[in-house]
Amino acid sequence: MKIKKDGPDVSVKVLPPGAPLTPEFNPERVRVFIDLNGLVAQVPVIG
Protein backbone atom coordinates (compact mmCIF):
# COMPACT_ATOMS: atom_id res chain seq x y z
CA MET A 1 0.00 0.00 0.00
CA LYS A 2 1.53 3.29 -1.12
CA ILE A 3 0.15 5.23 1.86
CA LYS A 4 2.00 3.01 4.33
CA LYS A 5 5.17 3.24 2.24
CA ASP A 6 5.02 7.06 2.16
CA GLY A 7 4.00 7.40 5.80
CA PRO A 8 4.79 4.26 7.80
CA ASP A 9 3.65 5.91 11.04
CA VAL A 10 0.11 6.72 9.89
CA SER A 11 -3.04 4.77 10.62
CA VAL A 12 -5.13 4.04 7.52
CA LYS A 13 -8.91 4.04 7.97
CA VAL A 14 -11.00 2.66 5.09
CA LEU A 15 -14.50 4.12 5.28
CA PRO A 16 -17.57 3.00 3.34
CA PRO A 17 -20.32 5.42 2.29
CA GLY A 18 -22.23 6.80 5.27
CA ALA A 19 -19.65 5.75 7.85
CA PRO A 20 -19.66 7.95 10.96
CA LEU A 21 -16.69 10.31 11.20
CA THR A 22 -15.06 11.80 14.25
CA PRO A 23 -14.55 15.56 13.94
CA GLU A 24 -11.06 15.86 15.43
CA PHE A 25 -8.03 16.31 13.19
CA ASN A 26 -5.38 13.61 13.55
CA PRO A 27 -2.22 14.09 11.46
CA GLU A 28 -1.33 10.43 12.03
CA ARG A 29 -4.51 9.17 10.32
CA VAL A 30 -5.34 8.84 6.63
CA ARG A 31 -8.96 8.34 5.67
CA VAL A 32 -9.70 6.40 2.49
CA PHE A 33 -13.31 6.77 1.34
CA ILE A 34 -14.63 3.92 -0.79
CA ASP A 35 -17.79 3.54 -2.84
CA LEU A 36 -20.32 0.71 -2.74
CA ASN A 37 -18.10 -1.33 -5.09
CA GLY A 38 -15.11 -1.08 -2.75
CA LEU A 39 -13.25 1.33 -5.04
CA VAL A 40 -11.57 4.49 -3.79
CA ALA A 41 -14.15 7.26 -4.22
CA GLN A 42 -11.94 10.30 -3.58
CA VAL A 43 -8.34 11.24 -2.91
CA PRO A 44 -7.29 9.93 0.55
CA VAL A 45 -7.02 12.70 3.13
CA ILE A 46 -4.86 13.19 6.21
CA GLY A 47 -6.77 13.89 9.35
pLDDT at 37: 96
User: pTM above the 0.85 mark?
Assistant: no
pLDDT at 30: 92
pLDDT in tens, 2-46: 877 887 888 999 999 999 998 999 999 999 999 999 999 999 988
pLDDT at 47: 87
Q: How far is CA 13 from CA 17, 23, 41, in A?
A: 13, 14, 14
